[in-house]
Structure 1
Amino acid sequence: MDFLHRNEVLIIQHLQKDYRACYDFLNFMSTVGDPRNIFSIYFPLWFHLNQTVGTKMIWVAVIGDWFNLIFKWILFGHRPYWWVQETQIYPNRSSPCLEQFPTTCETGPGSPSGHAMGSSCVWYVMVTAALSHTVTRMDKFSIILHRLTWSFLWSLFWLIQISVCISRVFIATHFPHQVILGVIGGMLVAEAFEHIPGIQTATLRTYLKTNLFLFLFALGFYLLLRLLNIDLLWSVPIAKKWCANLDWIHIDTTPLAGLVRNLGVLFGLGFAINSEMFLRSCRGENGYKPSFRVLCAGTSLATLQLYHFVKIPTHQEHLFYVLSFCKSASIPLTVVALIPYCVHMFMKPREKKIK
């Protein structure tokens, strides 16, 4: 593994030397792959465009990120920016110099890449959903159009995934093999959910049971390895030790922070979809109107951008996790229940006036 890492460090150095002028673009692509953007951008757009796809997107993102966490704990993958300092394979401490950036200092293990896995699974869902609506007739023109659309969308998919992977390698937060594993893992999770139709009709009890299982399994796995004297948070002190700027260390990049965020989102979605507000608005008469969907999508996107200004205090770790869970749960509640219900009530008086 050290031999592989050593060769991959050369790739990172090459990227940082020859593509430094593309930093802004690569940093943007790294943001595109950020799992948090799945909930604040992709989900509100797709849910109000197609509730089935939006719901599947949340399930795929949450389960995919959960698998990512478990594999990170199993594989113990190093990140380039600290590996070059910790390894003993370079003679006379002549370790290569890797440039660090504000987004470099992730604190969790590096394999597989969470950004690459999150990006691939969500874009896989979006591409397959779009392609499922391209063939309505079996005439020659429709088939040709479908093939052209298929080629375009999958080319776009791979262009985005390659860009996200290069960006993560460029900032020295992942080795190349880690982002490749992430892309493959994300696609496998998304493809598995193509064959699980029961998600759309899941009851609140199903959501709660799934949440409880994911939490207890992760907690049990963590405690089991602790009993075996294996510290699953081993990467956090190393990240703090070798990060060029301690201001770049953020608690929301720790393994437990991602778990809490995902459990909160799934918990909130379960309550939202089974709420009276959702049934009256999205499943009511207005729910089929394009104007209602567009207004809900636009309002949801604008509202969720305000969430970035809500800063959770980080001085107490347990308080941070509790508040992070509540904030994450409020996202689907806002998108699925609260905003559609408000839009529904706004449109109702106007409809009466017209009558």
Structure 2
Amino acid sequence: METIMHVVSGAYNTTLSRELFINEWAQERLSFGKPLWHFFSVQLEPSNMFNIFIPLCGIFSQEILLHLFTAITLISTLNSFEKWICPETRPLWFLREQYANRRVLKKPKVALESNQLSCEVTGGLPCAHSMTFTVFVLILASFFFVRCWDRFVSWRSPFCRCLMYLLIIGMVVCMWLSRLYLATEFLHQCILGSYFGIRALSTFEGHVKYLFSRPRGNAVSTVCFLGGLAVSVYFVKLQLNMDPHWSVREGFKWCPEPTYLRHEVTPVFGLVRDLGNLMGLALASPLYKVEMKQSSFWRRCRLLGLLEFVNYGLRLSTMKQSGRFAFLAYEFIRNAAHTLVLIKYLPKFY
């Protein structure tokens, strides 16, 4: 058994060492698109999906908003749990560890540039950016294409369909290149992130009627169970002599400037954010009863803008200096309240 584990570990380390050259190639050859890569990684991060881009889509249709928010919340929760249970190393961590480990004979001859965006403190697999962005683009493109299919005969041609597929693939690849350029993920983490997102979205679409028909009590109980599961993983890791905060320590250990690290990107915060969003959806259940009123574009724009302006102020007021428990409790309540108002109560004023 030890021999098998040694062979697997060696093959894994060899694979990561070779993938480091892909990150180096991206930094050397793709520097011309630096503003674009920063836009994809900074502006299109998962938290901005919930606070900016999904509400923006809600201006055009409450149906799109509900579908996007539910799917991305479930998929983001899946991502957070995977990183909480079994975090994987990131390129800069792996490279620094290889050079610091005296037992490693063959040091990878790779030079990676670190920056503020490289200071992540969650596991690398699956890439949360690739996972959520792929789902966001697919749902938005499908709604847009179906709407155009119904209105314009020219959109029913194979050429338009092929063009849409190429556009989706191009945007997802840009997200991959962004993560590779900033040395925040390995290539396999980006690819598997998108793959897991597509598979999870397919499962969601196949059971959407069942999920939207769940009564409030069942939905709230499920979210409480997931919260208990996250806590259980923490104590199980302690019993197995595993560090639950390994990824955070790696981030602090190898980040060139500790002030670059943010509370908002820790594994625990990601879980609290996603469970808060899930609790908001649970309190709004059953989701098929959510009102879908038709209203003017500008009225929806004003109401959604007001809500997000208030939510932005509450995000700035997060109690970061009042202790870990107060910080997490505040964020859980804020996310749950934001989701509940956005999904259930705001449409009443349309």
Aligned identity (percent) is: 23
The alpha-carbon deviation at position 305 of structure 1 amounts to 4.7
The alpha-carbon deviation at position 168 of structure 1 amounts to 1.0
Residue in structure 2 matching 1:223, options 214, 229, 235: 235
Tell me the distance in 1 between the aligned counterparts of 2:169 and 2:188: 16
Unaligned ranges ≥5, structure 2: 1-11
User: Is 2:129 the partner of 1:115?
Assistant: yes
Residue 93 and residue 176 in structure 1: after superposition, are their counterparts in 2 closer, same or farther (change >3 A)? Answer: closer
Alignment of 1:1-355 (within 5 A): 1-87=12-98, 88=101, 91=105, 96-136=110-150, 142=153, 145=156, 147-196=158-207, 197-272=209-284, 283=291, 287-291=293-297, 292-307=299-314, 309-314=316-321, 316-337=323-344, 339-341=346-348, 343-344=349-350
Residue 306 and residue 244 in structure 1: after superposition, are their counterparts in 2 closer, same or farther (change >3 A)? Answer: same
Residue 130 and residue 92 in structure 1: after superposition, are their counterparts in 2 closer, same or farther (change >3 A)? Answer: closer
8 A Cα contact 1:105 1:248, kept in partner: yes
* Aligned amino acid, residue 79 of structure 1: R
Corresponding position of 2:4: none
Between 1:241-250 and 1:223-232, the stretch displaced more is 223-232
Residue 283 and residue 77 in structure 1: after superposition, are their counterparts in 2 closer, same or farther (change >3 A)? Answer: closer
Residue 72 and residue 183 in structure 1: after superposition, are their counterparts in 2 closer, same or farther (change >3 A)? Answer: same
The alpha-carbon deviation at position 259 of structure 1 amounts to 0.7
Residue 152 and residue 206 in structure 1: after superposition, are their counterparts in 2 closer, same or farther (change >3 A)? Answer: farther
- Can you list the C-alpha shifts for 1:204-246, whole angstroms capped at 9, x where unaligned? 2243123113212222233223322222321211210110110
8 A Cα contact 1:30 1:164, kept in partner: yes
* Aligned amino acid, residue 107 of structure 1: V
TM-score, length-scaled by structure 2: 0.84
CA RMSD of aligned residues (A): 2.9
The alpha-carbon deviation at position 153 of structure 1 amounts to 2.8
SS at match of 2:53: helix
Q: How many correspondences in the alignment?
A: 333
The alpha-carbon deviation at position 176 of structure 1 amounts to 0.8
Tell me the distance in 1 between the aligned counterparts of 2:36 and 2:175: 10
Tell me the distance in 2 between the aligned counterparts of 1:333 and 1:112: 28
Residue 318 and residue 10 in structure 1: after superposition, are their counterparts in 2 closer, same or farther (change >3 A)? Answer: same
